[in-house]
Amino acid sequence: MSDKETVREKVRQGYAAIAESGGSCCGPAKSCCGGGDNATQLAQSIGYDTEELASLPDGANMGLSCGNPVALASLRPGEVVLDLGSGGGFDVFIAGKKVGPDGRVIGVDMTPEMVGKARKNAAAYRERTGWDNVEFRLGEIEHLPVPDNSVDVVISNCVINLSPDKPQVWREIARVLKPGGRVAVSDLALLQPIPDAVAAMVEALVGCVAGAALVEDTERMAHAAGLTDIRLAKKPGYVDAMTNVNDPLYRRMLEALPAGAKPSDYVVSLEVDARKPDTR
């Protein structure tokens, strides 16, 4: 798993399976990072509004979130938003309602099956809203199919941890943001290195854990990319909740950890808020 393309392909295969079957990246149960049948409950627990969840196209919420970057971003009407790793379109459709008909939300995902699912969902979104303000592009978050200085806000939800080249992702975020633009990311990060037994689990990689960076490394990468006003907020309750509901991934993690340890000793949901300097 040391080769970047090997890691990327494992992730692509895992999320293709989720898109096609609605099943799990972690096993046969309908759960992935706490999702599946409990997707609505999970989304509500991390701050999504019941009314906005009810307005989503069927199948857009697959329970793959670990935070609420849309709320963190405080989106305004007319803004251009880019969602990294947009999946079935969950945050794109919610963001689309925030920016309104004069704004635009672009979702990028490297999995063709996810992009196909999102584009089907987009038809239902347009029918309900009457707006044509969302789109989905196939691409890798390390090489975004978006021009320089073209986006007001970059959001991402539990995705950057999956990249085998995170510094490049942060450089791409800085590249596509307009001067003064901002980034709002919810991600999983490590409080300390996880044991090798957990890191070797493919489902831990696809389930957002084994590929996560240390909290301090996340801040360093954002700063090195040229972003400023970086603010980090740890949300430990998410991982404890996943353990408590007996999520397959976190159950297996618990079995692989040293005696007396729990997943939240190692993993935390992390909010990252930052800006691109305005040099105009």
Number of neighbours of residue 78 by Cβ within 10 angstroms? 12
Question: How do residues 141-186 score in pLDDT, each as one tens digit?
Answer: 999 999 999 999 999 998 998 888 999 999 999 999 999 999 999 9
Number of neighbours of residue 211 by Cβ within 10 angstroms? 22
* Rounded-to-integer distance, Cα 61 and Cα 42, Å: 10
Q: Greater confidence, 280 or 34?
A: 280
pTM: 0.88
Domains of the chain: 4-275 (3.40.50.150)
pLDDT of residue 120: 94
pLDDT of residue 248 exceeding 50, the answer is: yes
pLDDT of residue 51: 85
Question: How do residues 43-63 score in pLDDT, each as one tens digit?
Answer: 887 878 888 888 888 888 877
* Rounded-to-integer distance, Cα 228 and Cα 211, Å: 24
Question: How do residues 214-229 score in pLDDT, each as one tens digit?
Answer: 999 999 999 999 999 9
- Name the DSSP letter for residue 57: P
Average pLDDT of the segment spanning 109-119: 93
pLDDT of residue 208: 64
* Rounded-to-integer distance, Cα 266 and Cα 280, Å: 41
pLDDT of residue 53: 86
- Name the DSSP letter for residue 193: P
pLDDT of residue 164: 86
CA gyration radius for the chain? 17
Strand positions, DSSP E, the chain = 80-84, 104-109, 134-138, 151-157, 177-190, 228-235, 267-275
Question: How do residues 253-270 score in pLDDT, each as one tens digit?
Answer: 777 788 888 888 888 899
Task: Let me know: does 10 contact 202? Beta carbons within 8 Å.
Answer: yes
